[in-house]
Amino acid sequence: MKILPAIDLMGGKCVRLYQGDFNKSEQVANDPMEQLKTFIKDGAEIIHIVDLDGARDSSKRQYQLIEMLCKHSSVPIQIGGGIRNLETIEQLIQAGASRLVLGTAAIEDPVFLKTALDQYGSKIVVGIDAKNGKVATHGWEEVSELDYIEFAKRMEQLGVKTIVFTDISKDGTMSGPNLDQLAALNTAVACKIVASGGVSKNKDIEALKQIGIEEVIVGKAIYQGTVTLKGVNQT
């Protein structure tokens, strides 16, 4: 199991949202660079960064900060947040990102997604953010009628190898991951499923491992100290 500690960037600071609500943000660290160094020192193998500003407004993407974080990282960086065109992908790859999470664009522009997959292969990850089993878009502010498993199967057919699944109702709540939905998704497709949302303790990570999940993104629980990278058996 690999734990991906999350750094969510808003205005150059590390924040956490509650159930994806931009109006319910909490600053959890002042300096993203120091947080990055701490995560690496504690044993992180991959780090998950979300550009919340870029997710809402592409003109406010925090390229310089992301490039600086990638440059100083000794482990792979996964970037998400409003990646909707090839220019953004190219800029983030050049900045040093190892994997890029596409969300809204994967739903609304399948031609773009296929082109990205053809050009960048396994560097392209699709994020499925769901609310009551329906796929959400545009920074979680809009919910479609598209079933999350149906969408995952479409992604698999296009050649997607990795999916990040987030149950929005669990994100930032510390109430445990949605094991039922994750298990159903992991059974429905052959893609690697990365769990996200709700992890509050090491037992949650063990439960994810038991249903076959290999990677999990953890945010609030790490910042609050209820999950620690040190001492976690990452296999």
- Residues identified as active-site: 8, 129
Supply 197's token pair: 């949302």
**Strands 192-196, 215-218: parallel, antiparallel or unpaired by DSSP?**
parallel
Using an 8 Å Cβ cutoff, are 221 and 199 in contact? yes
Helix (H) or strand (E) holding 189: none
Distance CA 34, CA 160 (A): 33
CA distances from 31 to 7, 42, 43, 232 (A): 10, 17, 19, 25
Terminal Cα-to-Cα distance of the chain (whole angstroms): 5
